[in-house]
């Protein structure tokens, strides 16, 4: 049997959440749905984590080489690390001390 797809798992999870939010079910039935929802949420989380790792592996740097970068939660470009010859980077980007 093929492993369920992410979209189907997410759809089923949403149905379970709606059902639990409506209430009116016996406690045993609610607990079973809750357990199923937890399992679906874990599978969805695993699928998202796997996809995130693939995205991180496929990001190219300015030279066209593949490099790993963390996936930002917003759409802003990742901050470029500043280079420093000092052992610690205290101060702002112009090299001035903050005081």
Q: Could you give the count of Cα atoms lying within 13 Å of 51 in the half-sphere of its Cβ? A: 8
How confident is the model at residue 13, as a pLDDT?
96
On whether residue 96 sits in a domain, the answer given is: no
> In the structure, what pLDDT confidence band is assigned to residue 99 with cuts at 50, 70 and 90?
very low
User: Would you place residue 94 in the very low, low, confident or very high pLDDT band (cuts 50, 70, 90)?
Assistant: low
pLDDT tens string 15-68: 999 999 999 999 999 999 999 999 999 999 999 999 888 887 777 666 767 666
Question: Is residue 82 packed enough to be buried (19+ CB in 10 Å), middle (13-18) or exposed (0-12)?
Answer: exposed
Domain that holds residue 43: 26-54+64-71
- Model pTM score: 0.55
**Cβ atoms within 10 Å of 36's Cβ, excluding its own:** 13
> Does residue 36 lie in a domain region?
yes
Specify if 34 maps to a domain.
yes
Answer whether residue 6 is part of any domain.
Answer: no
């Amino acid at each position: 049997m093929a492993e369920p797809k992410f979209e189907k798992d997410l759809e089923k999870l949403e149905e379970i959440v709606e059902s639990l939010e409506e209430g009116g079910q016996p406690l045993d039935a609610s607990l079973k749905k809750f357990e199923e929802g937890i399992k679906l949420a874990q599978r969805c989380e695993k699928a998202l984590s796997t996809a995130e790792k693939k995205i991180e592996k496929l990001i190219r740097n300015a030279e066209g080489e593949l490099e790993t970068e963390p996936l930002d939660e917003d759409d802003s470009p990742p901050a470029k690390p500043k280079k420093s010859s000092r052992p610690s980077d205290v101060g702002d980007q112009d090299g001035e001390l903050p005081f």
